[in-house]
Amino acid sequence: GQQVMQIPQYQHVQEGEDFTTYCNSSTTLSNIQWYKQRPGGHPVFLIQLVKSGEVKKQKRLTFQFGEAKKNSSLHITATQTTDVGTYFCAVLKTGANNLFFGTGTRLTVIP
Amino acid sequence: DAMVIQNPRYQVTQFGKPVTLSCSQTLNHNVMYWYQQKSSQAPKLLFHYYDKDFNNEADTPDNFQSRRPNTSFCFLDIRSPGLGDAAMYLCATSSGQGASETQYFGPGTRLLVL
């Protein structure tokens, strides 16, 4: 079955430090999406990656899709307190159009 | 603004007492999803509707049912809630026009079972 692991599970950083979360799949992916969920909130779509080796940037956020399309990363430069939340990668379930969410990385930013 | 609305935001029910959660959308999306999310876990898909076609996940308990009377509304019925069903229930939509679309989530309903 679909296996999507994210590391780390938790990350505490000092405000201004960088943060990276990694998403790893046991199978080749057609695409990958990233969502952010603030504490007490709901998942909000950030970005979708489709091409092998693709890199996309949103201000301080950089998203990468691995060459083999089995892994992805989200990097935040100079974290701010507004970056607090859980970051999920999500992939299409095998043989379906539904999303399967990774285990998530909970980011805490210490002011 | 087009959006996904869930009511109520908090729901308290008693063990074994049926409860219905509601979701509506103004996005005119074809697909509506119901997820269960427990504390510190990822959202887990329960089922989804593509238009009127119902698609149940294999591991969704029979205790959970869903109705979609029209494009805008979708309901989650829990026939006999147990203590383990306490969770956040998230409704989401997508346009249904592609294989890898964005999902738009509602604010969720947090269910407490006493």
- Decide: B5 and B104 in contact? Cβ < 8 Å: no
Give residue A95's pLDDT. Answer: 59
| Rounded Cα gap, residues A44 and B107, in angstroms | 10
Residue B97 pLDDT: 73
| Long-range residue pairs from B49-57, CB within 8 A, at least 24 positions apart, any chain | B49/B74, B50/B96, B51/B96, B55/A98, B57/A98
Residue B51 phi/psi, 5-degree rounding, is: 55, -120
Residue B2 has pLDDT above 90, yes or no: no
Q: Given this model, what pLDDT does residue A92 score?
A: 79
Quickly state the pLDDT bin for B96 (edges 50, 70, 90). confident
Instruction: Assign B95 a pLDDT band (cuts: 50, 70, 90).
Output: confident
Q: Cis omega before residue B8 (within 30°)?
A: yes
Sequence letter at residue B25: Q
pLDDT of residue B1: 64
Q: Write down the pLDDT at residue A36.
A: 98
Hey, is the C-beta of B100 within 8 angstroms of any chain A C-beta? Answer: yes
With CB atoms and an 8 Å threshold, state whether A98 touches B106: no
In terms of DSSP bridges, do strands B109-113 and B10-13 run parallel, antiparallel, or are they unpaired? parallel
- Does B71 contact A at CB distance below 8 Å? no
The answer to whether residue B9 scores a pLDDT higher than 70 is yes
Within 8 A of B105 by CB-CB distance, chain A residues are 42-44
Task: Categorize the per-residue pLDDT at B91 as very low, low, confident or very high, splitting at 50, 70 and 90.
Answer: very high
Contact predicate B11/B109, CB 8 Å: yes
Dihedral pair phi/psi, residue A83, rounded to 5° = -85, -5
Query: Higher confidence at residue B100 or residue A10?
Result: A10
The average confidence (pLDDT) of chain B is 93
Residue B79 scores a pLDDT above 70: yes
**Among candidate residues B86, B109, B55, the one with its CA nearest the CA of residue B45:** B55
pLDDT at residue A96 in the model: 63
Please give the average pLDDT of every successive group of 10 residues along chain A, which has 111 residues: 85 97 92 95 95 96 96 98 97 74 95 93
Among partner residues B41, B48, B100, which is closest to A92 by beta-carbon distance?
B100
Q: Is the CB of residue B46 less than 8 Å from the CB of residue B111?
A: no
pLDDT for residue B99: 59
d(CA B94, CA A35): 14
Q: Name the pLDDT band for B98 (thresholds 50, 70, 90).
A: low
With residue A6 as reference, give the H or E element that holds it: strand A4-7
Half-sphere CA count of B63, side-chain side, radius 13 A = 14
Rounded-to-5 percentages of helix, strand, coil across chain B: 5, 50, 45
User: Quick check: B101 pLDDT over 90?
Assistant: no
Closest partner CB to B107 (pick from A33, A42, A100): A42
pLDDT digits (tens, 9 = 90+) for B24-78: 999 999 999 999 999 999 999 999 999 999 999 889 999 999 999 999 999 999 9
Task: Count CA atoms closer than 13 A to A47's CA, side-chain side.
Answer: 19
- Buried residues in B24-39 as b, exposed as e (16+ CB within 10 A): bbeeebbbbbbbbbee
Q: What is the pLDDT of residue B109?
A: 97
